Amino acid sequence: MDKFLISGPCRIKGQINIQGSKNAALPILASTLLFDNAVVIENLPRVKDIDTMLNLLKSLGSNIQIYNNKKTVRISRIKNSKYLASYSLVKTMRAGILVLGPMISKYHKSITSLPGGCLIGARPVNFHLNALKKLGMKYEIKKGYIHASSKGKLKGTQIKFSKISVGATENTIIAACLAKGKTTLKNCAIEPEIKDLTNFLNSGGAKIKWVGKRTCQIIGVESLNQTRYSVMGDRIETGTFCVAATISNGDLKIKNFNPKIIQTEINILKKTGAKIKTSKNEIHIKGPKNIKNINSIITKEYPNFPTDLQAQFMVLLCKAKGRSSITESIFENRFMHVAELRRLGAKILIKENRAIIAGNTQFIGAELMSSDLRASVALVLAAIVSKGKSTINRIYHLDRGYEKIEKKLQKVGVKIKRLT
Q: List active site positions.
A: 118
Residues near ligand UD1 (CB under 6 A), total = 22
63 versus 126: smaller Cβ distance to ligand UD1: 126
Three-state helix/strand/coil letters over 174-238: HHHCCCECEEEEECCCCCHHHHHHHHHHHHCCCEEEEEECCEEEEECCCCECCEEEECCECHHHH
Kindly indicate which of the ranges 62-70, 199-207, 301-309, 385-393 contains the residues binding ligand UD1, using the contact rule CB under 6 A. Answer: 301-309
The least CB distance from residue 251 to ligand UD1, in Å, is 29
Dihedral angle of Cα 291, 344, 309, 282, to the nearest 10 degrees: 50
List CB contacts of 205: < 8 A, sequence separation 6 or more: 221, 223, 224, 225, 227
Q: Binding string, 12-31, against ligand UD1, x = CB under 6 A?
A: -----------x--x-----
Contact set for ligand UD1, span 329-368 (CB under 6 A)? 330-331
List CB contacts of 275: < 8 A, sequence separation 6 or more: 285, 286, 288
Q: Which SS3 state, helix, strand or coil, does residue 298 take?
A: strand
Q: Is there binding between residue 54 and ligand UD1 (CB under 6 A)?
A: no
**Closest listed residue to residue 391, CA positions, set 347, 340, 339:** 340
Q: Is there binding between residue 304 and ligand UD1 (CB under 6 A)?
A: no
Q: Is there binding between residue 121 and ligand UD1 (CB under 6 A)?
A: yes
For ligand UD1, the nearest residue by Cβ is 167
The least CB distance from residue 274 to ligand UD1, in Å, is 23
CA gap 270, 291 in Å, rounded: 10
The least CB distance from residue 287 to ligand UD1, in Å, is 26
251 versus 301: smaller Cβ distance to ligand UD1: 301
List CB contacts of 351: < 8 A, sequence separation 6 or more: none
71 versus 94: smaller Cβ distance to ligand UD1: 94
Q: Which residues bind ligand UD1 (CB under 6 A)?
A: 23, 26, 94-95, 121, 123-128, 163, 165-168, 189, 306-308, 330-331
